[in-house]
Each structure stands twice: as C-alpha cells, then as structure tokens.
Structure 1
Amino acid sequence: MDNRSRTQVAIVGAGPAGLLLAHLLRRSGIESVVLENRSRSYAEARIRAGILEQGSVDVLRAAGLGDRLNREGMRHGGIYLQHGERRTHLDFEAGCGRSVWVYGQTEVVKDLIAAADADGQRIDWEISGDALHDVDTDAPYVTYRDSDGASCRVDAAVIAGTDGFHGISRPAIPEARRSVLEKEYPYAWLGILAETAPATDDLIYSRNKRGFALYSMRSREVSRLYLQVPAGEKVDAWSDDRIWDELARRFAYDGWSLNTGPVIDKSVLPMRSFVSAPMRHGNLVLAGDSAHIVPPTGAKGLNLAISDVVLLARALHAKFTANDDRLIDSYPSDAAARLWRATHFSYWMTTMMHVSDDAFTNELQASQLRYVMGSEIAQASLAENYTGMPY
C-alpha cells in the first residue's frame, strides 16, 4: 500500500447518510474517515428528495446544522389531496401536532460538507477500485485507489456502508446470509425541476383519471413536479410542452392555475420497494439506501436514512465510549421497526394515489382516497405517518 491509515469507523459513501454519521460521530469524539467514489461537486449538485420530517429537522438542528435550514427551509403544515376536481387540505398540526419542511437533500449535503470542512473531517473523494475485507472479523479494512491513483488501506473497528443501492457494502454480506424483499410497481415518475415560483402553499397530491401528479417545490423560486408514467417510459418521449399540458390536465381545479417556466432538469424515476436484511454482518453495518428503498410518494427515503444514522450513531457512541455493544446488537431490529412502518406507509400512499390498469383495483384505490378526504380520523393517521414516527 502507498498509504495506510487507521480510524475507528470507516464510512463508505458521502451521501447524506454517510456525511451525517461522520458529523454525529465527531460530536461524540469518535474518529471516522469518509470514502466516496464521486466528486465533491457531484455530491453538492445531485438532485434528490426535498421533504424533511419533523424528527429529521429536530436532529439537524440539535447537531448544529440548522442555520441555513431555518433561513431557507419552507415549513409546511399540511398537504392537499385532490381527486378529480375535488381538493381537500389536510392539516398536519391539527392531526398530530407536527409539520414537515421543504429543504432539498442537495442543501443538506452542502451543509454537512461545510461542517466537515470546518471540523477537519477527512473525506477521500473520487476513489476507485474500493473493496471491503474481513468484515466478519475484529479487524475489517477498506482498500481503494485515491484520486491520484495511489493505493490506500483504511483499517477500522467498524465499517459503515452508506453507499446506496448500487454500492459495494450490501454485497459484502455473504449471499447466504442476505434476504431481500421487494416490490416493483407498474408505473414510474416523470419528474421535472422548473424555474418558476410554486403556485401552491402546500404540496398537492392529485389522483386524476389520466394518472397521478404531484406538485412540490425546492425553493421559493424552483418548483418540483411529477407525473405518473408507465414503467420503462423514456424521458425523450416528453417535450416540455407536453409535460406542462399534461400537468395542467391532472391538476385542473376551478379557480387555480399552474405556473409554468423553463424546465432545468428532467428524469424518469422507477418505483420500487426494497428491503435487504440483515443491516449488520460482523463489524459491517448498513444505513440508508444501501439497505432499503421506498417509493417517493410518502417522502420517506431521506428521512429513513437520517433515522438509521441516528440509531447507528447512538449505538457506536455506546460501543466506543462505554464498551457497550447492546445497541449495536439491536441496531438491525431497532432500524427495521421504523423502516417497515415507513415502507407500509409509502406503499399505501402509492397505491392509493396512482391509477391502476385493473378496473377492480382502481375502484378500491379511489374509494380509499375518498374515505381519507372525508375522514378526520383517517387524515390524522396520514399526518402522523407523513410527518414521521418517533425514533
């Protein structure tokens, strides 16, 4: 090896999960090294989720990461549910006393990188050829080549895999030990970012006979909108004019109009639920998308990553400061409790709001939406789950 070093926790992946874990560990006096195969500029520009649960906001504020969130984040006390031309506002605060915030994952990552810079956190960007070794022993390590091509090795007591669905961490768990449960949905989302002020004070979830549509936002100047499209749809099939026309049809509501503007990003997002277990093998632990994926309808992906990291940081704190392994031993089951609740909620929201090709299923889904729109009890349950269950 050209370079060899040692740390307490080697964190593979510099997404929000990995960066937040490093931040929380630093505040506990625990050393870590973060390894990432993408560039810093890519991490700071990548467009992903934009809704933070109440608990996620509380975590970021308590960790000293709330300054820009408090200034620029947009607090939302509810959502609109629309069925055809009928629209109902769900008041989260009345239903459960909590709110959500619109603050993009990109902005959370920028805040975490800025905090890492200020604290002198080691992050090795643009690595290649990374591999995990001896994860089922007391001496796990990571090998890779750094951005200059030098061969590197990091020895650690624990390796945290926060490198997403396509990363190397989950496959490092022997296949015989892994179990995977997943569901592929027969539709996808065509999503756009548009340079236009949002035309709504709260998110709009609309179920139209033509398909589902979601009106969200990333800031006071940028809107984020989605259309239900068939699975496997190609983004090239949708011109900007066609997208705006279809959005106007699906959001049609008397007395309200859609703001349009230049489209600055366009992509098709597959819809799937994916859960891999266990989330720990020896001294390798997984968090975030490396272990699970949910459809974005319930706004749970980023928030699940944050909740995993909170539980994992507590467990590592107990391990390293008190030689207490009870929380690291229970981490997989502790994380799974919130994971499966969020997975069910995401499935429920997805199936209720999207239009099915099966006529019987379609009527059941529409009936469920009508019930929620007319029931304060059902709305309170939706609010409790949407704003986030307690850790």
Structure 2
Amino acid sequence: MFNMQTCYSLFMLLSSLFIAGCSTTVPHNVNEHFYDYQHITNELHALTEKNAPFVETYVLDYTHEGRAIMAIKIGKRANPIQTKPGVLAIFAEHAGEHDTTSLAMGIMQYLIDHYSTDENVSRILEKTELWIIPMMNPDGVDYDLSGAGEPFSWRKNRRRTGEATYGVDLNRNWEYHFETESLPEMPKNYSQKDNPNYAGDKPFSERETRAVRDFLLAHKNIRILLDYHSGGAGFMQGAVGCFNGRGSRKGTHPSVDTFCNNVIDGFAEAISDPDDGRPDFLLTNREDAASILRQRVPFYLRPFVPSTFFQEPGTAVNYVYDQLNIAAICIEMFRDRSFFKKLPDSQNKLTKNQIRGFLRLLTVQTTNEDVGFR
C-alpha cells in the first residue's frame, strides 16, 4: 500500500543524509567529464542540425544571467500537434547534479541511434511526444563548474537575493503548500536566503520554474513527468517515487492513479543494477519505506530517520501531480564512493541502467491509451 505523505518527506530526508556524512570528496578537475552551458549548447545545436526535424530544440525562456532554458523534442511531428501523449523529463533542476545532464544527453543519443534499428524505440517515438529539458538550471550549473567552490556542491540558481546572497532552490519554488509550516524549523530553513534550500519569496519567483510551468500548462497532452536528481550515498543505489494525482484533484483521472501504481515497481526494478552491490532503488511510496531506509543506512545515521514525516513543500512533482493531475516520477540516483575515480565508465554505467528504466516506462505508457489527457 502506498503512502504519499511518506513519499514527499523521504526525499527531503535522503538529501539530509547526504549532508550528514554520506557524500564523497569531489576532485576539482571533475568538470572535464560533465557539461557546462556552452558545451551542451554546442552539442544540442549539432544534434538538431544533423537529425532535424526528428530532433528539434526550443528555447522556453532565458535565465537571470541570459542563458537559454532549452527543451528538446524527439520523434516525428504529430499533425495536428499535441495529438500524441506526451512525456517530459527534466534534468539539472539542482545545479550541482551534473550527472543528470549527462544522463539526458545519453538518453537522447540512444534514441537517435536506435530509432531505425530497434522496433521498440521506433514504436515509442511513433506514439509518444517526448520532451527533454537537459539543463533546467544553466546559471547554477556554470557557477558550480567555475571553480568558485567544490564541484557538485551548489544547488540553487544564481539570481541575487540580497546584498551577499545568491540563488533560489528551484525544486522548492513550485506552488505546492508553499507556506506550509509542518515543522517548526521548516520556515526558518526555507526563508533564509543563505540556506541551500531557500525557496524564494513567493512561488514561481524564478524564470526557470515559470518556464517549465508554462510549458506544462501549454502542453495539455503531457501525461508523465520524470524529474531526475542525484546525490552521493554509499549505502544504496537510490530512491524513486511516483506522485500520481492524489491531491485536491483526486478522482479527476483515476486511470492516472492506476497507471502510476502499476508502473513504479517495474521501473524501480529496471533501473536497479544487480551487479552494484548496494541495495536496489528504494520505493518511497511504500508505507514501510522509512523502516526499510532505517535498515539500509549506516548505524550512526539511523537516529536521523524519524518514524513520521512532514509533507515537502514547493517541489516540481508535488505541483505537477496536485495541480495538473499528471503522473510525476522523481528519481534520486545515488553515486557510489568510487564514482568520481572511475569516470567516465561510472557515468556510462549509470546512464545505461537509467536508459533501461526509461525505455520500460515509455513502453508501458504506449500501451496504456486510457491514461487520460487533462
């Protein structure tokens, strides 16, 4: 049985556990293995030129520092537009999660390379309008790779918020229970401009979140949102949760609930690597997720795992499922302790595992025609 409130807060807890001692030191030359804004802009331009009109690049808006927020559409054009069910995947909402952008590029390249030779890939792209935002937070990405601090450490964007403070956590800036005060310390954490989780002074105060929100509002055929995140943790491969329209709009599209509940187990299984050595991806929807997590974390972190959880405000998946009734899946990929030492092989392995789950999810989606449009 699934428990959505547990799901919300477990992702916040897992982020806290990284800070509590699960992260690894990142070498300063690691940026040569990952995409900055100029690098990805050049590659997307080349992909579009070589594969148009099968691959199209759109600019949703520009950031505070003038960088484009780009969305890539892959597949044959529908006529009329938006007649095929849509899937949107977003990456690098948090600046320092560069491995998610590498994953996005790997997914796109795989689909392009296999479209004409793999019957399943061909069928997926014939029946699905696929959109990918490979770098939602380009200002933050470039800052994180600039050498100003340790790579993979900056979380927010780069809009100036005070005399000596910069940035808003984009995944706390969505309009979902934005004023929630479920715990006494939450308002303090989220309202402090120098806090890594600073949510902004109001929902959608940031150009990046407004751009993606407006895209979703304009594309009524989007059925599934995939929101990819990452962090450093040695004790398991990751966590995945499906947010499926059980908020204030519950019952509007019951087929969305059914689809989400049916697909998440297989998705988690597909992205888990049997050769990893760490426990598989944790299904955060499970009512016993906290108990399972307590068994997995190192003993010195078990006191940080509470028996009850608060609802996490301001996240993309919460807004999307509650306000738009879209099945929303959040994937937290945990890098192991040897990830940076084994680059690029470790990134290639991560990408391969995630592609397996991505294809499985889209395969199921193409056979579920009853999943309702908004």
The two structures have a TM-score, normalised by structure 1, of: 0.26
Q: Which has the higher strand share?
A: 1
Rg larger in 1 or in 2? Answer: 1
The two structures have a TM-score, normalised by structure 2, of: 0.27
